[in-house]
Amino acid sequence: MANPVKPNKSAKAISEKPKAILPSGRKDASFFEQVYDVVRLVPRGRVTSYGAIAAYLGTKMSARMVGWAMNGAHHVSPKVPAHRVVNRNGMLSGKAHFATPSLMEELLAKEKVFVKDNMIQDFKTKYWDPSVELSLD
């Protein structure tokens, strides 16, 4: 009873083929590229979740990988607004991984996105879903 059903509703057409800039200098990872690209597409004052990005890539189960990608996003060019990426609950789960624990809140504050108790205010309102905003049609 691990997977009684596996709905393959993917049909995603990611024609994006950006350069491969990996934290380790590798150029084989495509998942990371997509993650970086999507996060960079996040408009100012908006926030998204790991699962949303993962789902946009086609596999919402790889939400963990999205977080890993962010880990190297700090030294990637152009800089990836990782501060705009939070978990499903709207909590700044990765704020501790930034240069400074308060850096994430600072950046979000500049985006007019206020945070309270490690949680984004009106998260659902600031929420930015790539699959929806980008409109897959």
Residue 49 lies near DNA (rule: CB under 7 A): yes
Strands 85-86 and 115-116 come out as unpaired
Q: Does 56 engage in binding with DNA (CB under 7 A)?
A: no
DSSP string, 13-70: ----------TTS-S--SHHHHHHHHHHTSPTT-BEEHHHHHHHHT-GGGHHHHHHHH
Beta-bridge mates of residue 120: 115
102 touches DNA by CB under 7 A: no
H or E segment at 115? strand 115-116
At its nearest, how many Å lie between DNA and the CB of residue 97? 4
Nearest distance in Å: CB 106, DNA = 14
Sites for DNA among residues 67-86 (CB under 7 A): 67-68, 70-71, 73-74, 82, 85
Contacts with DNA: how many residues (CB under 7 A)? 41
Q: Which residues of this chain interact with DNA, rule CB under 7 A? A: 1-4, 22-24, 26, 28-32, 49-51, 54, 59-68, 70-71, 73-74, 82, 85, 87-89, 93-95, 97-98
